[in-house]
Structure 1
Amino acid sequence: MKNEMREKIKDFYENQKFARITRKVADDWDELSRGYIVDFSNDFVVIQECDDFRLLGFNILLIKDFKQIRHNNNDKYYDKIMLLENEKKNIGIKTKVDLTDWKSIFQSLRKNKKNVVVECENPEIDSFTIGPIKRISDKSVFIQYFNATGFLDEKPTKIEFKNITKIMFDDRYVDIFSKYTRERKKKKTTANNV
């Protein structure tokens, strides 16, 4: 099954086929990803996400979570529209990411100064962490999360690699929001407050 899935991934990559990927992120929980496979390794795939006939950012996904990669008549027609709308000419990744393991992935993204979204889509964890990569250890990454008003947390959020199901980068949402992050103003201490 693993070799068969890797052969499919290679075919989708080489032939720029629009992919609808069903991923199992928990025992009774599936997630869908749609787009074009732009890079892959033994364990990971980079997909350029697609929605409403537009290319979006990039997602890094674990191959072990893949249940199915579909390219049926619906997907073929979507692919044809993407071609007719001249969107397919923009398929491709500019940021080189070392897809050896989670640690090398985060090191590559940090080296390229990429802010990321790290998701743990398992409903028992269900976390969405957006921000710059501050530190990487052998088993986890530390992201300086920023909230919906752009304020950065003082301390980075620790995320264990074993819980990660998806990383997003070079996405319009991440890139634009990242330009407007801000530090919380520190309260001045006075003699009366001490």
Structure 2
Amino acid sequence: MDRYNHICLRATYNEWMNAKIYNAMIYELADEIIAGQNDQFDEVIKMLNHLIVVDTLWLKRFAIHPANYTALESVLSLPTPENLEQIVSTNIQELAEFRQYLDKIICEWAHAISRIDLDHQLCYKNTQGVITNHKFFSLIMYFFNYQTFIREKILALLLEVDIDVGATELVVPMPSGINI
């Protein structure tokens, strides 16, 4: 699989996994979440917020790529998160809606990337204000790998309270029909 198709696959997988987590949180645990009866849920909410904040920061950086991806235009109008622990919302439904919005943008953007864009050196400021640059493809892979890393922590917390979201492996056929 070439780099472009791998990015498209990762975007679809990302959307699929996020939906599975939010569905478990909303539909299986609604009463417990609303009542705030479990510290694990508070930690999961913090991690879901963290992932939204980090994704927003990265998408804003990706939006400065010279390719001017139209899929990322709306991200530029979002407020820039002040820190990585920023709470966007404590309401799981609001978080789910914002997550769906971001995941739709990510999928649209991933499919708009051209193969030649991947070798561009993207120059951006990190969260400490340090100007840095890296190959665009490497940054995209970091972006998706970090999402997976945080989701694994979320899944572990959900398993502690006997919530299993089901198959999570990338090799499992996704509903969209994309297979590797």
Greater strand fraction, Structure 1 or Structure 2 = 1
Q: Which structure has the larger Rg over C-alpha atoms?
A: 1
Whether TM exceeds 0.5 here: the answer is: no
Q: TM-score, normalised by structure 1?
A: 0.22
- Give the alignment's TM-score, normalised by structure 2: 0.23
Higher relative contact order (CA 8 A, sep 6+): 2
